[in-house]
Structures are given as structure tokens and as C-alpha cells.
């Protein structure tokens, strides 16, 4: 048996933010088993971590496969370690497919140091407009496609075509606009990973924050993910890095009977 924690990330309240499952392992289990657990959990991300020396090796699995970077599941993993595994530690270092990620305690908030994606502006296409249901004012490409919409309500009210979305370039699609109460509002979609809408996407903000920091002429960005669950991210752009800070709360602890 292994323990599996479910943590709502980027929120102070359960049923909000983005839920991630976290499995803290003594030794690695087969990749196939990790993938099957992620599929059974059916959350946008299941994180697996093993302590290696002074750091932790961290991997993230969606129901559709392993991914190279996930913010909310990293925040959730740090929360589990801070509250249940190593409560005396103030800093957690994770070795990942995206290099070393450092999460620090900031009072009750957790602050993550992530790589910023280099965003290249690309032409807006009719296909983007057709998928989103609104014509973007601008579009950018990193790992993911980011479409900047004219207004916050365009983001909140969008009902994109998930099937057609898979024909667009980029791993995920993020739609974003300047916010009324926040610097920016965004939504994130990942049908290529068998996730329709990601409630709060940390790696997405590694794309979104560089765009808004440049557009608004400021390094500190307070961002809101305008999904049904909603979530707040306190962001800072520092050169090629993005600090993503937020809260998290525990939803459940389960024992997985998977025969290991």
C-alpha cells in the first residue's frame, strides 16, 4: 500500500483551486504503474516523489501521459512534505525534467521558483478564433499556445471547441486578458493530455506572466485563473525565472491498494 494525498492548490479552501494527487514513495515504482494510478485518480495531475540525498526527485503524470512541468502539483507536493513528511524543512528542492525547482515557505504561503518560457509572438489565425469563439488580439507560442483576448469577459465566457483545439499548435491552450481586479485573468485547456480545462495551471503562468509583465511594465503580477473552481497566483518575473506563490489545503488522504 502507499499513501495518496489529494491537495487543492492555489486556494485556502477545499473545492477551489486545482486538485492534485501526491504519492510520496520510498523507492520508484514502474512507470506503467504510475501512469495507471494517474489514470485511476483522473485528476489533471498525479505527482510522485522520492527523496534522493538532500533533494527530492519529482515526476508528474496526467491521465494522458507524463509531463515536463506542473506548477500546481509541485505546490501540492511541497504542501504534503511540509505538513506530513518533513515539517522542520523550510525549503524543498525538486529535481525534475525541467531542472531544479525550489519551493520555499513564505508564512502559510508556498513560493515556487520556476523557469519562464521564452514567448514568441505569432500571427493570430482564423483557426484560433474558431476554436475559442472570440478573435485574439495577439498570440504567443512557448511550449503552449497563449491567446490574448480583448476583455476579461471574453475569457470568463469562452466555451472553446475541445475537439478542434487539438489541431492547434502547442501542448496546452491558455486564453488570457487584462483583469479588472487582478493584473490578468486566464483559463487553461489541455485536451491533448485528456484534460479539458485545468482549474489552475502553474506551468501556464510560466507562459502568461512574461507576456503580462512586458505588456504592463511591471515585474509583480497578481493573476486569477477564472475556471469554475478559481485560483489566485502571486507571481514575479525575474529574468528567465518566474516565482509563483500560493496557498494550498488538504482534501483527503487515501491508501492505494496497488499490490506493491
Catalytic (active-site) positions: 45
On the CB side of 255, CA atoms within 13 Å amount to 4
As given in the structure block, the three cell numbers for residue 32 are 506503467
Whole-angstrom distance, CA of residue 153 vs CA of residue 1: 46
Please check whether residue 61 is in contact with residue 18, taking contact to mean a CB–CB distance below 8 angstroms: no
List of E strands, the chain: 2-9, 18-25, 46-52, 55-62, 65-67, 91-96, 99-106, 109-115, 120-122, 138-141, 145-148, 173-178, 184-190, 195-198, 220-225, 231-238, 241-246, 248-256
Q: Residue 6: what are its φ and ψ, rounded to 5°?
A: -115, 120
Secondary structure (3-state) at 260? coil
Amino acid at each position: 500500500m502507499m499513501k495518496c494525498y489529494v491537495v487543492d492548490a492555489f486556494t485556502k479552501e477545499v473545492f477551489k483551486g486545482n486538485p492534485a494527487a501526491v504519492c510520496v514513495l520510498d523507492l520508484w515504482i514502474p512507470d506503467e504503474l504510475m501512469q495507471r494510478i494517474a489514470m485511476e485518480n483522473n485528476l489533471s495531475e498525479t505527482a510522485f516523489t522520492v527523496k534522493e540525498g538532500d533533494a527530492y526527485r519529482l515526476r508528474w503524470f496526467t491521465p494522458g501521459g507524463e509531463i515536463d512541468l506542473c506548477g500546481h502539483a509541485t505546490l501540492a507536493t511541497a504542501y504534503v512534505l511540509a505538513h506530513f513528511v518533513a515539517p522542520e524543512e523550510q525549503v524543498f528542492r525538486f529535481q525534475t525534467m525541467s531542472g531544479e525547482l525550489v519551493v520555499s515557505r513564505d508564512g502559510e504561503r508556498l513560493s515556487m521558483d520556476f523557469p519562464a518560457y521564452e514567448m514568441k509572438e505569432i500571427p493570430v489565425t482564423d483557426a484560433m478564433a474558431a476554436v475559442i469563439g472570440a478573435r485574439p488580439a495577439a498570440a504567443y507560442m512557448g511550449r503552449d499556445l497563449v491567446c490574448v483576448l480583448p476583455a476579461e469577459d471574453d475569457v470568463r465566457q469562452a466555451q472553446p471547441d475541445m475537439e478542434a483545439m487539438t489541431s492547434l499548435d502547442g501542448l496546452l491552450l491558455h486564453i488570457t486578458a487584462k483583469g479588472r481586479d487582478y493584473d490578468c485573468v486566464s483559463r487553461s485547456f489541455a485536451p491533448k493530455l485528456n484534460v479539458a480545462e485545468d482549474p489552475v495551471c502553474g506551468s501556464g503562468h510560466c507562459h502568461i506572466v512574461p507576456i503580462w509583465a512586458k505588456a504592463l511594465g511591471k515585474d509583480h503580477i497578481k493573476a486569477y485563473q477564472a475556471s469554475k473552481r478559481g485560483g489566485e497566483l502571486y507571481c514575479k518575473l525575474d529574468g528567465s525565472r518566474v516565482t509563483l506563490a500560493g496557498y494550498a489545503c488538504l482534501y483527503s488522504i487515501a491508501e492505494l491498494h496497488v499490490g506493491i
